[in-house]
């Protein structure tokens, strides 16, 4: 089970800045362990953001994204009290969804 994300969503005017910190190893599949064996690739492939259940962002990610990735984006029209949910799916099929309230 993956560790939780940290999501902050701050409204300013009609724009809400969402900042997300995800906990993930993001192995590229290029590295080798101490025994010389390739460490299998393991990374987030799909990221989806929803605003009150409506999808506002989808992203396809690859192995070039850093470990413990940070994502920031702006949602137009989100108000304080709205729900922002983020979902990621990795290449092993593991997934995680976390939700935050716009403040």
Partner 1 sequence: MKTRTLIGVAALALCAGAQAQKSTADGIAEYRKMLEDGNPAELFEAKGEALWSQKRGPKNASLERCDLGLGPGVVKGAFVTLPRWFADTQKVQDLESRLVSCMATLQGFDAAEIVKTPFGRGEMANVTALATWIAAESRGMRFNLPQSHAQERITYEVGKRAFFYRGGTHDFSCASCHGDEGKRIRLQELPNLTRNPGDGIGFAAWPAYRVSNGQMWSMQLRLNDCFRQQRFPYPGFGSEVTIALATYMGVNAKGAESIAPAIKR
Binding site for partner 1 (CB under 8 A): 3-4, 6, 19, 21, 23, 66-68, 70, 72
Instruction: Please report how close the Cβ of residue 21 comes to partner 1 at its closest, in angstroms.
Output: 5
Which residue's CB is nearer to partner 1, number 54 or number 66?
A: 66
Q: How far is CA 66 from CA 11, 44, 89, 103, in A?
A: 27, 10, 16, 28
Which residue's CB is nearer to partner 1, number 10 or number 55?
A: 10
Phi-psi region of 48 (alpha: psi -120 to 50; beta: other; left: phi over 0): beta
- Residue 6: alpha-carbon gap to chain centroid: 9
User: What is the distance between the alpha carbons of residues 52 and 75, in angstroms, rounded to a whole number?
Assistant: 12
Instruction: Please report how close the Cβ of residue 20 comes to partner 1 at its closest, in angstroms.
Output: 8
Instruction: Please report how close the Cβ of residue 67 comes to partner 1 at its closest, in angstroms.
Output: 4
Which residue's CB is nearer to partner 1, number 25 or number 52?
A: 25
Pick from 81, 75, 14: nearest CA to 50: 75
Instruction: Please report how close the Cβ of residue 96 comes to partner 1 at its closest, in angstroms.
Output: 12
Which residue's CB is nearer to partner 1, number 24 or number 51?
A: 24
């Amino acid at each position: 089970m993956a560790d939780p994300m940290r999501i902050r969503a701050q409204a300013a005017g009609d724009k809400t800045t969402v900042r997300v910190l995800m906990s993930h190893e993001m192995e590229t599949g290029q590295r080798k362990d101490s025994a010389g064996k390739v460490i299998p690739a393991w990374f987030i492939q799909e990221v989806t953001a929803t605003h009150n259940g409506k999808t506002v962002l989808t992203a396809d990610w690859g192995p070039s994204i850093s470990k413990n990735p940070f994502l920031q984006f702006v949602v137009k029209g989100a108000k304080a009290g709205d729900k922002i949910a983020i979902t990621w799916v990795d290449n092993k099929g593991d997934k995680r969804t976390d939700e935050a309230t716009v403040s």
